[in-house]
Structure 1
Amino acid sequence: VMETIGLRKEDIVVISFGEDLAASTLATLHVKQMKVEKIIVKAPNDEHKLILEKVGATDVIIPEKEMAYKIAKGLISPNVLDYIPLTENYIICEIAPPSSFVGKSIAELQLRGKYHIEVIAVRDVLTDQIQMAPRADFVIKGSEVLVVIGKEGDVDKVK
């Protein structure tokens, strides 16, 4: 079947069979045998993820687990609007600046020294304009969100 749809070895394949362990495992194995370099597979749990990685999946996504983590993160740190995990400890995330940040420059806030985080961009939610790598004298407005990078625990301290 895969050959008939024109699958080539340099392609990326996404496999999503829901809860069907046998189907997703066999599909992953067949795609791996075709020398596909990037195989992204949906799994229902960590045990299924382990099996899929053993047969050749390069990325395994557990949507329910990721969504649960995202919801929990929002409850624990309500100012964290969105995030992307980079490693086990580091994340890039959008945070709503606390009211104490508004009207102050990045230099005044001393985010690197106090929180060990770095502002890599600022997005104005009203205009959707993005200021990449804002300078130290950049003053934060109430309509902006900060895109920061740092350890997850350090980002959580920004309140």
Structure 2
Amino acid sequence: MPTPDMLKQMALTKRKYFVYNVKFVCGMQKNKFESECEGAIVSRGIYSTEINILNYGPKETTVIKAFIPVVVNNKAIAREPETQGIAGVDRVVLKPFNATMDDCCKITEMLKKAGADDQLKIGFVEIISPIQLEVVAVYTVTNLEQTNPTINVVPVEPRSLSIG
């Protein structure tokens, strides 16, 4: 979700926006599952997420990205009943027929305010655009010895957001 100031600015335009909510999982989980919830959030392994954003149309657009963590430094910071808001916001101008990407390095940078490091980070990147885009998430996971990698490529469908 964008910040209140961004929402006010967007409301002035009284237009429809496209929103893409992308899950991210980044970092290393060394702990084994134990009887207590604090030991491990996901299975042992090395996780990475890469988010690709393509402006396939003939118009330039400004894309807003909000970074919302639920796990930082291998600790659940938004386990119910707790919630977490935006820890970082970024904007990028995408020219026609241009693409950009966010990976775990960018996600870690955007979550510095939340104290993120190379340990496990899980959350959402919310992508908001006034035009429809192509958004694809690429998820990679491997065991700690890096011998059995798997990769999943997932297209992310837009949702409509009308403001104003």
TM-score of the superposition, structure 1-length normalised?
A: 0.21
Instruction: Decide which structure has greater strand share.
Output: 2
Compare CA radii of gyration and give the structure with the larger one.
1
Instruction: Decide which structure has greater helix share.
Output: 1
